[in-house]
Amino acid sequence: MMNEAAGNGVFLGMDPARYLGKMEKSRKGSIRIKSKSRSNVTVRLVWIVLILLTVLAFATFRYKQIDLTEAVQSTFHNIGTVFFQPELTYDTFGGALYQLLITFCLGALSTGIGAAAALFLSLLCAKNMANSKVAAVVKGFVAVIRAVPTVLWVLIFAVSAGLGSVAAVIGLSFHSISYLTKCYAESIEEMEAGTIEALKASGANFWQIVFQAVWPATASYMVAWTFMRFEINFTNAVAMGAAAGAGGIGYNVFMAGSFYLDLHEMGFLTYMIVIAVILLETVSTKIKAKVK
């Protein structure tokens, strides 16, 4: 079988044993291939180490005489209360809607700022539009920003701006810029090189290329990435309501769960957030379909 493959040129100039590994026949007569490459061995060792560390963590965890059976029962009871008995106690429906609107505005504002800045930076980041050295510097800069979680950027800016919506918007916008810059740049780099080269050969300047070639070819992708980031910013704004005191419905959820200990209200607010996310996804899908 291997001779036929070699005759057909499959293993021309290659060592078959190197790429197929050991070939053994199973009891049913079929050929079984065993690959013992270094990467596979490394992956298996990593999995073994992670499993051992997990077992060790559970074995050495200080449970402080917690009754696991009672804890599991209480957890399921709380989940049932949150999701099957939602009710507003301390807030009104109108007040909850207003807080949801604040969260929506935080996400929309940070996404708009991030998209506007990323649109310009992506032109300096795409290899087919900018100098290779400039593109490498910009990509490295946005990669460093993107490596830091959003909540940390919000807390960093909270040191100078103070806890509140200002720090939340700046932190969300900062991370959105790095995220969208990468997405926009990749969309631009996927363009056909002939289009840009033809415009350059005809004497078109930089901005003529952007508005006549780049934007028409990548608009649908950029809109899709922008709405995806908006959904991320909306959910992050919910978390920032509690972590950074940015307000919005996230702060109400935090107060209901940690201060009032009212699981009924926490469940109602959770349902409002879920419905809002579903509506945003529906609207974004329709807009992306129209742009295409």
My answer on whether 286 and 214 are in the same domain is yes
Q: Indicate whether 55 belongs to any domain.
A: no
DSSP H/E element including 34: strand 31-34
pTM greater than 0.85 (yes/no):
no
110 close to 233: Cβ distance less than 8 angstroms = yes
230 or 91, which is more confident: 230
Q: Indicate whether 221 belongs to any domain.
A: yes
- The whole domain housing 128 covers 83-291
My answer on whether 161 and 239 are in the same domain is yes
Q: Indicate whether 69 belongs to any domain.
A: no
The amino acid present at 187, given as its one-letter code, is: S
Confidence band, pLDDT 50/70/90 cuts, at residue 117: very high
Q: Indicate whether 61 belongs to any domain.
A: no
Segment 212-267, tens digit of pLDDT: 888 888 888 888 899 889 989 998 999 888 777 777 888 888 888 888 888 889 88
My answer on whether 88 and 9 are in the same domain is no
My answer on whether 93 and 40 are in the same domain is no
Any idea which residue has 């070699």 for tokens?
6
DSSP H/E element including 9: none
Q: pLDDT at position 31, please?
A: 55
Burial of 141 (0-12, 13-18, 19+ CB in 10 A): middle
My answer on whether 165 and 273 are in the same domain is yes
164 close to 173: Cβ distance less than 8 angstroms = no
How many domains, the chain?
2
Burial of 137 (0-12, 13-18, 19+ CB in 10 A): middle
Confidence band, pLDDT 50/70/90 cuts, at residue 7: very low
91 close to 265: Cβ distance less than 8 angstroms = yes
Closest by CA position to 266, among listed 242, 245, 282: 242
d(CA 185, CA 177): 12
The amino acid present at 169, given as its one-letter code, is: V
Q: Give 78's Cβ-side CA count (13 Å radius).
A: 11
d(CA 41, CA 287): 47
Buried b (16+ CB within 10 A) or exposed e, 80-109: ebbeeebebeebeeeebeebbebbbebbeb
Q: Indicate whether 59 belongs to any domain.
A: no
Q: pLDDT at position 82, please?
A: 87
My answer on whether 19 and 155 are in the same domain is no
My answer on whether 102 and 9 are in the same domain is no
d(CA 202, CA 240): 50
My answer on whether 39 and 95 are in the same domain is no
**Is a pLDDT exceeding 80 seen at residue 179?**
yes
d(CA 94, CA 100): 10
My answer on whether 134 and 278 are in the same domain is yes
CATH number for the domain that contains residue 264: 1.10.3720.10
My answer on whether 113 and 245 are in the same domain is yes
Angle 135-137-138 (CA atoms, 0-180°, nearest 5)? 65
Q: Indicate whether 64 belongs to any domain.
A: no
d(CA 78, CA 189): 50
Q: What is the mean pLDDT of residues 138-158?
A: 87
Segment 21-77, tens digit of pLDDT: 444 444 555 555 555 677 888 888 999 999 999 999 888 877 777 777 888 888 898
My answer on whether 225 and 93 are in the same domain is yes
Q: Indicate whether 126 belongs to any domain.
A: yes
**The CA-based dihedral angle spanning residues 75, 234, 138, 146, taken in that order and rounded to the nearest 10 degrees:** -10
My answer on whether 127 and 252 are in the same domain is yes
Q: Indicate whether 162 belongs to any domain.
A: yes
